[in-house]
Chains A and B, each alone.
Chain A
Amino acid sequence: MSDSQVQLPIIDQPQSNRRGFMKTVGATLGLAAWAAAMKPLLELTEDVNADEFLQNHYRELTAEQKAVVFKRLEEDAKKEYNADVTISDPAPIENVQFGYALNLSVCIGCRKCAEACHIENNHDRASNNSYIRVFEMEMGGIDFEKGNATYDHPVPAPGKYYMPVQCQQCENAPCVTACPIEATWKEPDGIVVVDYNWCIGCRYCEAACPYHARRFNWEKPEIPAEEVNPNQSYLSNRIRPQGVMEKCTFCLHRTREGRLPACLEACPTGARVFGNLLDPDSEIRWVIENKRTFVLKEELGTKPRFFYYFD
């Protein structure tokens, strides 16, 4: 037995050389096939640069680093969308907690809010994306099972009422807990934001959200140059990259500068009320203190900042 063990390699010599040669050929062919299979990735690398790859989390960036990043993003917008944009970074205002309320008695389901969101936030034109979904509900209950978000007829229809749903900016946000890399977090003014340059696109937050408020960029958004909203901010309405999550930010690029959200300005019936929850004289406080308000899925303990009420 031991003899044959010693001799085997000698007997096998010519054959194992041939085998070795065949293995080398096989490995070379395999590598070539591998390179051919991965070729689509090469076409992608034109768009990706090292600075973007190595960019740190938004909250880790210094003011100088931010300036460099914003400049790069502005150049990218020029290069890829032929649009001259400015990217700002408005900070949360102290002693401000944003809240939103919506009067179900006056909403007529015209979807002007969804349309305004689409334009303001530089959404992909082909998918007609918007952070707001308007549900046509049946009178006699608040049952989404009987609701319909794809209605296509003149509104308001008899026997129906309308319920726009967008991000509820939850106090106890399941999406923030779910994110494995802190790419989404709650800002001091209560707005849940996403760092589009940090998100890896695992979509766990989308599974975690009870309000269908989060959207994924299934492909690179397409917007004609003349339709791009040039007033952009890093955490809100700048054109998102492919493969990352996005969501409603209560238009923080507007609201942190004292303006109102685009969806509110577009509403023809005045159903929407927006303001600072900490300001006792604000309209939103008056609504909460004087109207019968409710929040969606209160039983889940998410503590939404978006209130619904009837007159």
Chain B
Amino acid sequence: MVQAQTPIRSVQKETSVTLSYLGFLRRAAGVATDGKWHFYVWMILLTAIALVGANAWAQQVRDGMILTNMSDHVSWGLYIANFTFCVGLAAGGVMMVIPAYLYDDEEMHQVVIIGEAVAIAAILMATLSVVVDLGRPDRFWHLIPGIGKFNWPLSMLTWDILVLNGYLLINLHIVGYLLYMRYLGKKPNPKWYIPFVFLSILWAISIHTITAFLYCGLGGRPFWNTALLAPRFLASAFVSGPAFIIISMRVMRLTTNFHFSPKPANTLIQIIRVAMCANLLMLFSEIFTLFYSGGSHAASAQYLFFGSHGANGLVPWIWTAMFLNIVGAILFFTPAVLRRGNIRIIACLFCIVGIWIEKGMGLIIPGFIPSTLHEIVEYSPSLIEWKVTAGIWAFGLLVLTVILKLIASVFTDQFPSEASPNQSTLSKENAASAIPAEATS
């Protein structure tokens, strides 16, 4: 019986890879919605926040962007600030792939897929942040190349649309392929994913560089019009991405049977140490140039750090960011960060929040204050903007939770595989060989 079954199964598989992949996705949907009570609490909480955000956005579309606190003077606000951070997070998620492949660090391979998962969630958040910033989301189709009118290659925004969507597709392919192969109990064919991994590394750098070009290419905004912007973006992405992955790994370790060896986290900490120093050095260099030479170029920096003409709305923001970044960097240099999980998590949170402010509220908003004709109109996000942004984060975390849960299920063989008992045993052996000595972490 068994002998007769095997060839039939394999023939079926070869004839309908698509159906088989759809079956995998169907089962994945089942796994993603199964869990203990605290999983349901977490998912229901995120769904509720996402719905509050969706409702706030729907109101904004109906009544107009007047519900935000943006104005003709500060025409981009919290949404674009959050977009900038999310692009960095997406780029940073894949940066950790670099040591895994370029330096052939075998142990990094097992956490690469976590980085890709973070990248997928972050790209979705970045895209949503732009969509909610549109005054006419109903005309979204004007942006589709071929159907609408795509001002490529002139407009940097069209470049950004291309690279962000391309990046999403590449990472969906890598994660989907690796999980699917694992699910089938097969060894992934390097031909089908290694070229894409290298492509995603280059692409990760491109998404954040082009997002920086969006701002630094504007000659009328001296605060952004600096060649240092793209390198600064990349350096901070090298911090926020790995920090986010360290937190994700920690959560997975606490909530699933998926275990990591401590080495990848240590490699990530090394990356963060270097990147944070580079980030702070470039920030310092920027501040020096602005303040020492002075003049109108320093006007935005003056407003940001110390306030200007009695207006100082961003001063608490930026000093909070400076405090978090510097304390986070110091924590990352203490030996405790390698030994004690809690210190590591605090350091990661400090750096993530610090960079969120520095690259968001501390970079996008002062570009508009003072305005191009030196008028000072301040901005602080409205309740609607906070709700929408919280909704986007809830949705991103929802997606991330589902993908990480799938990864944990597939890699610990708790996935309801359609494979026969023989194959399931085989995949078990593979699992043991691919993740060596994980019990230590």
Instruction: Tell whether A pairs with B.
Output: yes
Rounded to whole angstroms, the CA-CA distance of A154 and B277 in the bound complex is 55
Is B296 positioned at the interface, with any CB of A under 8 Å from its CB? yes
B14 interfacial contact with A, CB 8 Å: no
9 CB-based A-B contacts, threshold 8 Å: A1-B428, A33-B51, A34-B51, A40-B55, A198-B142, A198-B149, A203-B135, A218-B70, A300-B219
With contacts A2-B421, A38-B55 taken as known, whether A203 is within 8 angstroms of B75 at the C-beta atoms is yes
Binds B, one of A69-77, A87-95, A209-217: A209-217
Check if B341 is an interface residue, CB within 8 A of chain A: no
- With contacts A40-B55, A180-B150, A200-B134 taken as known, whether A210 is within 8 angstroms of B62 at the C-beta atoms is no
B72 near A2: Cβ-Cβ < 8 Å: no
Do B135 and A212 have beta carbons less than 8 Å apart? no
Residue from A23, A36, A210 whose CB has the most chain B CB atoms within 10 Å: A210
Contacts of B425 in A (CB 8 A): 1-2
Q: Is the CB of B62 within 8 A of A41?
A: yes
| Partner-contacting stretch, out of A142-150, A186-194, A258-266 | A142-150
0/1 string, A132-165, CB within 8 A of B gives 1: 0101000000001101010000000000000001
Query: Is B65 an interface residue when CB atoms closer than 8 A count as contact?
Result: yes
A177 at the A/B interface (Cβ < 8 Å)? yes
Question: Which A residues touch B55, using CB under 8 A?
Answer: 36-40
Query: Chain B 123-135, CB within 8 Å of chain A: the 1/0 string?
Result: 0000000100111
Q: How many residues of B contact A (CB 8 A)?
A: 64
Q: Is A210 a contact of B151 with CB atoms below 8 Å?
A: no
Query: Taking the complex as formed, is B155 at the interface, i.e. its CB lies under 8 A from any CB of chain A?
Result: yes
Beta-carbon contact of A144 and B219 below 8 Å? no
Contact with B along A212-232 (1 / 0, CB 8 A): 101111111000000000000
* Beta-carbon nearest neighbor of A54 in chain B: B141
> What is the CA–CA distance of A233 and B425 in the complex, to the nearest angstrom?
74
B150 partner residues in chain A, CB cutoff 8 A: 180-181
Is there an interface contact between A39 and B367, defined as CB atoms closer than 8 Å? no
Give the chain A neighbours of B214 by CB distance below 8 A.
Answer: 204
What's the Cα separation between A209 and B367 when bound, in Å?
A: 12
Shortest Cβ-Cβ A-B pairs, 9 listed: A201-B135, A210-B220, A243-B135, A219-B64, A37-B55, A180-B157, A144-B374, A2-B421, A219-B66
The residue in A9, A211, A243 that gathers the most chain B C-beta atoms within 10 A of its C-beta is: A243
State how many angstroms separate the Cβ of A235 from the closest Cβ of chain B.
16
The size of the chain A interface, using a CB distance under 8 A, is: 67
In this assembly, does B161 line the interface, its C-beta being within 8 Å of a C-beta of chain A? yes
A301 to B220, CA, bound (A): 10
Q: Which residue of B135, B148, B372 contacts A216 across the interface (Cβ within 8 Å)? A: B135
Is B140 an interface residue, CB under 8 A from the partner? yes
B73 contacts A180, CB within 8 Å?
A: no
Which residues of chain A come closer than 8 Å to B219, judged between CB atoms? 174, 210, 300-302
Most buried by B among A26, A145, A147, A211: A145
Distance of A203 Cα from B422 Cα, bound (Å): 59
For the complex formed, measure the closest distance between the CB of B46 and the CB atoms of chain A, giving whole angstroms. Answer: 11
